[in-house]
Amino acid sequence: MKRLDLIRHLEANGCDFLREGASHTIYINRIVQKSSVIPRHREINDFLARKICRDLQVPDP
């Protein structure tokens, strides 16, 4: 899955950008007070994308 597609999916489901790290981006779901790290690669493995969505408690892409 493309990184930008995952970010669009997260933002459409109520997640917000929190901050940038050295090689990753952190998104937060303020409703459930959960955060997750998204690596800065063009392609993100589907298993990792599902894990990020589960961490943030949003539907799988």
Q: pLDDT tens digits for 43-61?
A: 999 999 999 999 999 999 8
Q: Is the whole-model pTM more than 0.85?
A: yes
Counting every residue, how long is the chain? 61
Q: Exposed/middle/buried for 35, CB within 10 Å: 0-12, 13-18, 19+?
A: middle
CB 61 within 8 A of CB 23: no
What is the pLDDT at residue 8?
A: 97
What is the pLDDT at residue 33?
A: 96
**Average pLDDT for 22-42:** 96
DSSP characters for 1-61?
-BHHHHHHHHHHTT-EEEEE-SSEEEEEETTTTEEEEEE--SB--HHHHHHHHHHTT----
